[in-house]
Structure 1
Amino acid sequence: MDLQLSARAGRACTVVSVGGELDMDTAAELHDFLQEVADTGAVQVVLDCAELSFMDSSGLGIFLVWFKELQGRGGRLCVAAVQDTVAYVLRVSAVEQVLDVYDTVDAAEAGVPPVVP
């Protein structure tokens, strides 16, 4: 299954919707897409994972790389609306202790502080 990616302006962030399967075959697509988003100046990113049906360690790696990258730019990366299979991967890998995980995209957007220039 292919990876579906899109971005939209959120309240004080950019919401990136990730759908399909995130694995070693598609992880580079997410990395490149997040690079494009960051190149536009976005530093507060919410990953909307409502349509993400599968994720392996390659996907976890991309989440962590971009968590650190955005943190280094004074921003943050968080995830929202994860399905049970993805939530399980985040939990057993302890990544949910590093990334903020929200039940909904609205909750994630509300939790993003505005960036002060």
Structure 2
Amino acid sequence: MNYTINSSDIENTVIISFEGRLMGAETAEFHAKIKDLIEEGTTTVIGDLGGVDFLNSSGLGMFIAALTSLRKADGDFILCEASDKIESLFKVSKLFTIFNYYPTLDKAKAAASKN
């Protein structure tokens, strides 16, 4: 899994751009990074899935853990830009009922600015 953390022009929000195959191999490392971001004052993370070409149940679990941590900090983990294949996985698993998802990064940013 590759990801890049980018600052955002929205207060207390960062954008994480994911690339490649998300199979949860680096789950502990990613969760530690989420905890660090929360300790630094980040309450909202926008997960840009535009570069993701594969996602399995471990990767989904990694996202659920991040969502749980951020919501405990009165924040959110917003997802956006998923390919049709990845979007379908979220729909079939009914995870779009717990995640806030937007088709574009601009719409995700707009939602984050309202938090």
Q: Is the 8 A contact 1:52 1:83 kept in 2?
A: yes
37-46 vs 4-13, which moves further: 4-13
Q: 1:7 to 1:93 in 2, by over 3 A?
A: same
Matches of 2:9 and 2:63, distance apart in 1: 19
Structure 1, gaps ≥5 residues long: none
1:85 aligns with 2:93: no
Aligned residue type for 1:30: F
34-43 vs 102-111, which moves further: 34-43
Matches of 1:10 and 1:100, distance apart in 2: 20
Alignment match, 2:97: 97
Alignment match, 1:15: 15
- Superposed CA offset, 1:17-54 (max 9, x none): 11111003244443333233223221111101111111
Alignment match, 2:50: 50
Aligned residue type for 1:89: L
Q: Once superposed, which parts of structure 1, at least 4 consecutive aligned residues long, lie more than 4 Å away?
A: none
Aligned residue type for 2:96: E
Task: Tell me how large the CA RMSD over aligned residues is.
Answer: 1.8
Alignment match, 2:112: 112
Alignment match, 1:66: 66
Structure 2, gaps ≥5 residues long: none
Report sequence identity in percent: 23
SS for the counterpart of 1:18 is strand
- Superposed CA offset, 1:46-101 (max 9, x none): 10111111110111111111111111111111100011221121111111111011
Matches of 1:77 and 1:94, distance apart in 2: 16
Matches of 1:74 and 1:94, distance apart in 2: 23
Matches of 1:35 and 1:21, distance apart in 2: 22
